[in-house]
Amino acid sequence: MGKSTWPPTCWTRTTWPRRSSPGSTQLPWCWPICKEPKDPDATDVGPFPSRRLKSDIFDAVNFSEKDEFVKSLRPEPLASDAEFAVRLFEPSSCCLDSVRAAFCFVCCLPVDELAKAEVESEFYTRVRRMRQTDDMAEVFDWMIELTNVPSKKIFGYKKGADYESGMEARRSGGNWTACYVEGEWRLIDPLWGVQILTKFDTGNYSKLDDQGNVEDSRKSEGQLIYGCNEFYFLTAPENLIITHFPVEELRQGSCWPGPSPWPSFIECRSSFQGRWTRCSTTA
């Protein structure tokens, strides 16, 4: 894979793109103009802003049959990554097909059905234990590397369940992936696409019921539920920036023509988004 700069500097502007007017489908991008690659199949594609909505590129209904095929697959204990990839990507005819297959596989594989074997391949062990080790993103990237889909891993800050508005981020250990599909770079967070934390409570605030009565708040670590959140598949940068901030931006302040969006990031409320489909509740 080429050595293009990442995270892409053309995704780093103070004003995130908005529609020019209600009902308009034109997106007047505010980022610097980057040269679009002449060869859409090139393996070293320079970064440039997407010009279309996610709905213009992807419709889950059209992938229902392929998704069901992926959900039916189970890796064998001795199978290598390359051997399983042949099965996983067999119906894929384009980069979008391959990226969707990898995402669906990570999100919907019932790992509880994968029994521990006396002898296992490294790939089988990683997949079988990926929810115990939070390796969903790593398994996704592993599968993508076995395709011809250009991809880059992005590192930065992510707002977890315990994040509160205004909290200063101390760590930048989060990561997500950019994949080049349908002539554009789109963002994918396999980890957040697979799991959601419910019933989490910091215990710092009281609650009001429907009648306005105050309820005591108790600290709760919550419960992880596994499934498929479509919001984190092919997400547009202007939507993901609410919860995901590339760490590169803090080192390259010169790219910003105005004030850094960092203060806005830490002050903005984080809320659950997307259409959630439960595939499995086991870890």
Q: What is the pLDDT of residues 171-199, one digit of tens each?
A: 556 888 989 888 888 889 998 888 665 65
**pLDDT winner (highest mean) among 4-13, 57-66, 179-188:** 57-66
Structural Rg of the chain based on CA atoms: 20
Q: Which of 186, 153, 190 is nearest to 57 (CA)?
A: 186
- Give the contacts of 65 (CB within 8 A, at least 6 positions apart): none
Percent of the chain with pLDDT over 70: 55
Question: What would the two tokens of residue 145 be?
Answer: 């590397």
Per-residue pLDDT band for 148 (boundaries 50, 70, 90) equals: confident
Q: What is the pLDDT of residue 140?
A: 96
Q: Which residues pair with 141 in a beta bridge?
A: none
> How does the average pLDDT of the chain come out, rounded?
70
pLDDT at residue 220 is higher than 70: no
- CA 103 → CA 18, 37, 164, distances in Å? 27, 25, 29
Model pLDDT, residue 9: 37
Listed in order, strand segments (DSSP E) in 11-162 are 151-158
Q: What is the pLDDT of residue 208?
A: 65
Residue 240 has pLDDT above 70, yes or no: yes
Distance, C-alpha 217 to centroid of its chain: 31
- Asked if residue 244 has pLDDT above 80, the reply is no
pLDDT of residue 134: 85
Torsion of CA 132, 111, 113, 227, to 10 degrees: 120
Q: What percent of the chain has pLDDT over 90?
A: 29
Instruction: Summarize pLDDT for 70-93 with one digit per residue, the tens.
Output: 999 999 999 999 999 999 999 899
How many other CB atoms sit within 10 Å of the CB of residue 33?
9
pLDDT number for residue 194 = 85
Range with lowest mean pLDDT among 92-101, 147-156, 192-201: 192-201
